[in-house]
A and B are shown apart, each in its own frame.
Chain A
Amino acid sequence: MNEIVPRNVKHKDNRRLGISVLSLLPLYIFTLLFVAGPLVYMFILSFMQRAEVWGVVNEFTLKNYAGIAEPIYLKTFLESFKLAIISTLSIILIGYPFGYFMAKLSAVWRKRMMLLLMIPFWISSLIRLYGWIIIFRANGVLDKVLMGIGITDAPLKLLYTYPAVVVGMVYSLLPFMIFSVYASAEKLDWSIIEAARDLGATRWKAFLTITLKLTLPGLLSGVVLTFIPSMGLFFIADIMGGNKVVLVGNVIQEQLMKAHNWPFAAALSVVLMILTSLMILLYRKITHVKDLEGLV
C-alpha cells in the first residue's frame, strides 16, 4: 500500500485489523493461560530437588539435567529418535499415496473413505492393538494362515519384536498423515497437471514439479503430526514390543510413577521438547517451506 490512499479506504484498513484481532484473542488467551502456565511450572519443576520418598523440595538444582547425561538415558533418546524416524518414513510411504489417491476419488467416495478411516480410530487404541496381538502372536491368525497355506511350518514369533512395534506405530499414526495429505491434496487443481501432461511432461516430472510442491504443506503437517507423537507414544512399544524397547516416554513414566522423581521426569520432558522442536525446525529448513513460517 502506498501513501496516496483515499480516506475511506484507510478507514477500512483500521477497521479490518480490529475484527481480525478479535479472532486471535481466543487462541492467545487460551494458550497463555492453560498451556503456557502449566508448561512454565514444568520448567520450574525440572530445577527442583526431589523429596526423599514423595514430592518435591523447594531447592534449586541442576542435578536433574546432569542426570540425563548417563549413557543409558542418552541411549534412550537415540532409540526414540530411531523409532520415530523409522515410523515416520514408513507412514509417509503408505500415508502419502493414500491421501493423494483418496483426494482423486469422486466426492461421494471421498466422504466414505474419510468415515471409513475415522470410525476405527474412535475405538480405543489399546483394544485395537490387542487385535494385532491376536494376529501376531505365536499360533495366532497370521501363523495359522501362513502354516495353513504351507509357507511356514513353525510359529513366526513376530510378537514382542522391533518390527511389531513399528507396525503398531504405523497403525496408530497413519490416519494423521492421510488426513493431512488429503486436506492439502483435495484442493489441488487437477487441470494444472493435465496441462503439464499435454505440454509433454512425463507423469513423474509433473508429479515432482507440481503435485509434490503443492501438497508439501500437507506432507509437512503430516510429518509434524506423526513424528512428534511417535517420540512420546510409549505404550505401543510396551504392548507390541513386550516392554523391551525403551523410549523416553517409558523412562519419564517410570521416573514419575515408580521412582517418584518428578523433577527428573520434568527435566527429561524439557529436553525432549527442545529436541523435538529442533528436529521440526531442521525439517522445515531442509524443505524450504516458506509458507509455513511460524510453524516452529
Chain B
Amino acid sequence: MKNRTKLPNIFLGVVTVVFYLPILLVILYSFNESRISSVWEGFSLKWYAELFRDKALLEALMNSIVLAVLSSLAAAVIGTLGSVGMTRVKLRTNGLIEYISTLPIMIPEIILGIVFLTFFSLISLPFGMTTLLIAHTAFCIPYVFILVKARLAGMDKSLIEAARDLGASEFRAFLDITLPLIFPAIASGMLLSFAMSLDDVVISIFVTGVNTNTLPLKIYTQLKTGVTPKMNALCTLMFIVTFLLGVLSVYIGKNPNSNHQKEERL
C-alpha cells in the first residue's frame, strides 16, 4: 500500500533528525579543546589521544559489548521459548511466572542492585562476568517476552494446528512457522536488550567483580570529578563503529533468500 501523501515520511524524517541532534552535539564537543562543555575553546584531538592511552577504558568497553551480546542472546532464548511455550501449554502458573519475570523492570534499579548483591553473596556466586550476566539477563528478558507475546497475540493459531495435522512435529512447527513470524519481535527485543545492557550502570556496579569493569560504570563514576570530553570521544567512536556495522548489515541483508520471501509465502 503506497502512501498517498508525503506527510508520514516527513514526520519520520523530522523526528529522526531531532533524535540525532543531541548526538551530533556530543560528537562535535568531543573535539572541544576545553574540558568544560560550556566553553568552546577550539578544535582539538587531544581527547582522542587520551582515550587511546586509557587501556582500562577500552577494556571496559570490550567487557560491556561482550556482556550485552551474551545477555541479549540469553534473554532472547529464555524469553522467546517461554513466551511461545506459554501459548502452547496452558498451565495455571503461567500468569504468575510471567508477572514475576517482568518485575525487574518495575523496580528501580538501585534496589534491584542491592538485592542482587545480597542474594548472590548468599548463594556464594563468584562476582564478575557470571553475576553480571545473570543480572543483565534478568532485566532483559521482560523486553523480549513482552514484544514476542504481543506479536504472538495476533498470530493465527490455526496455522500451527494445520502444520501439526499435516504431520509436522511440535519442534518443526515452531521452527518453520512460529519463528519466522515472530522474528521481528525477537530482533526488536534483542536490540532493546543490547541497548539496556550496554547502558546499565546501577545494577552493574553492585554485582560486578574486581576484574570486570564495564563502560557505563566508568562514565557514571566520573561524575564526582567531572565527566571529560574523553567520554564524548569514546561515544563518537562507538557511534561511528555501530553505524558502519549497521550499514554493513543492511547490505548483507539484501540477500534474496532472506525472511522477506518467506513472509510473502505465508
Contact = CB atoms under 8 A, between A and B. Distances in A.
A214 to B, nearest CB: 6
B21 A135 contact: yes
Contact of B108 (A27, A187, A194, A232): A232
Interface stretch (B9-17, B41-49, B51-59): B9-17
Nearest to A268: B111
B82 A26 contact: yes
Contacts of B111: 42, 252, 256, 265-266, 269
A41 interface: yes
Interface stretch (A57-65, A148-156, A220-228): A220-228
B110 to A, nearest CB: 5
B211 to A, nearest CB: 22
B79 A27 contact: yes
B242 A119 contact: yes
Contacts of A132: 22
B170 interface: yes
B154 A217 contact: yes
A241 interface: no
B260 interface: yes
B147 to A, nearest CB: 5
A182 B188 contact: yes
B19 to A, nearest CB: 6
Contacts of B26: 123, 127-128, 130-131
A252 B169 CA distance: 50
A98 B188 contact: no
Q: Chain A binding site: helix, strand, loop or mixed by DSSP?
A: helix
Contacts of A207: none
B166 interface: no
A108 interface: yes
B108 A248 contact: yes
Nearest to B110: A253
Given A38-B112, A102-B12, A116-B16, A131 B239 contact: no
A193 to B, nearest CB: 7
A105 B13 CA distance: 12
B1 A190 contact: yes
B88 to A, nearest CB: 4
A98 B15 contact: yes
Contacts of A38: 112, 115-116, 118-119
A273 to B, nearest CB: 5
Contacts of B20: 120
B264 to A, nearest CB: 10
A123 B236 CA distance: 9
A98 B18 CA distance: 13
B249 interface: yes
Nearest to B83: A27
Contacts of B227: 126-127, 130
B108 A228 contact: no
Contacts of A23: 81-82, 84-85, 88, 174
A20 B170 contact: yes
Contacts of A26: 77-78, 81-82
A119 B239 contact: yes
Interface in B148-193: 149-151, 153-155, 164, 169-171, 174, 181, 184-185, 187-188, 191-192
A275 to B, nearest CB: 10
Contact of A256 (B21, B101, B114, B188): B114
A134 B22 contact: yes
Contacts of B239: 119-120, 123
B97 A269 contact: no
Given A31-B97, A132-B22, A256-B111, 14 more contacts: A35-B100, A39-B100, A39-B115, A97-B8, A104-B3, A112-B250, A120-B23, A122-B194, A124-B199, A184-B151, A276-B106, A277-B99, A291-B153, A292-B150
17 contacts: A27-B78, A27-B79, A32-B100, A38-B118, A42-B107, A115-B249, A118-B246, A119-B246, A121-B191, A121-B192, A123-B26, A124-B199, A124-B216, A128-B22, A128-B26, A218-B150, A277-B99
